[in-house]
Amino acid sequence: MRLRCAVLDDFQNVALSSADWSAVQDRVEVVSLREHIADENELAGVLADFDIVVTLRERVPFPASLLDRLPRLKLLVASGMRNSALDHAAADRNGVTVCGTASSSTPPLELTWALLLGLARNLVTENGALRTGGPWQSTVGADLHGRRLGLLGLGNIGSRVAQVGLAFGMQVGAWSQNLTKERADEVGVELAASKEELLETSDFVSLHLKLGDRTRGLLGAAELALLKPTAYLINTSRAGLVDQDALLAALHEGRIAGAGVDVFDVEPLPADHPMRTAPRLLATPHLGYVSQANYATYYGQAVEDIQAFLAGSPVRRLG
């Protein structure tokens, strides 16, 4: 009897065409699940008959309460090499091997600039007007050259965002709790004196930090109040970095010029979620990592992980 593998959240129905699964098809039946299952009880029922699960990033939590209900599960493959939504101790206790895949920082870097440029030049408003017979030129775009780009985080993605900003002729500053002047100098940007100074002086602020105890709620109502009324906020990292209610209030009250957001407190967003109708918001449904090359890596290496597991020598183990 072949093992059964569930591929979760295959919204675009591309998981099976993004990689060559033929290497495991003789031993594994692969089933693509296109609809997101948020309810843990429902998910436990759906996955009860699967031996292998492939999940994207941290979209689906696998806490102990779920893993304890999946006695048939033996291999869990999560895209990326870090996943805080998995209870690794519970996986180990239940005999579940957890493996990861590589993940490129290029797609979220590119989306960051797509959001920033879309906001600055009012592309959604102007495109909508052009296609519906609306006014010819109804907005005036914000310039990038000579403006200040403030980065919260200067790691792998943040440093590359900085390089693009410099290429646009922007003044680039950065801040994080552990950022040193040596690192800022290495990237060619200014080290901000404080988070507050960065927020007060930047025309565009972009977040590129990991979510943890020290960064959760990093930007609350008090911090957002420091932004200029002409400033734009971009978040392609994690929703928890920003107080969502405070951001919605700032957008509705016009206290900032706009925000570009790719990550949300609940995903997928419910149909009635206030983020769907907020003014001054350019939002995308967590597309940061969604690209052809990244999907080829995710699913291609998922196949490799399954092959290695079946051979008794798991690779890219997490935990």
Catalytic residues: 238, 267, 286
Which residue type occupies 33? L
Question: What is residue 17's three-state secondary structure?
Answer: coil
Instruction: Record the tokens describing residue 301, joined without a space.
Output: 């290496």
Q: What is the rounded distance in angstroms from the CA atom of residue 99 to the CA atom of residue 101?
A: 7
The pairing of strands 75-78 and 52-55 is: parallel
Cα-based distances in Å from 171 to 91, 120, 165: 47, 16, 8
Cα-based distances in Å from 67 to 93, 161, 196: 9, 38, 42
Contact (CB, 8 A) for 309 and 128 = no
Question: What is residue 111's three-state secondary structure?
Answer: helix
Q: Which helix (H) or strand (E) holds 28?
A: strand 28-32
Residue with tokens 């290497």: 23
Q: Which helix (H) or strand (E) holds 258?
A: strand 258-261
Contact (CB, 8 A) for 108 and 236 = yes
296 conformational bin, left if phi > 0, alpha if psi -120 to 50, beta if neither: alpha
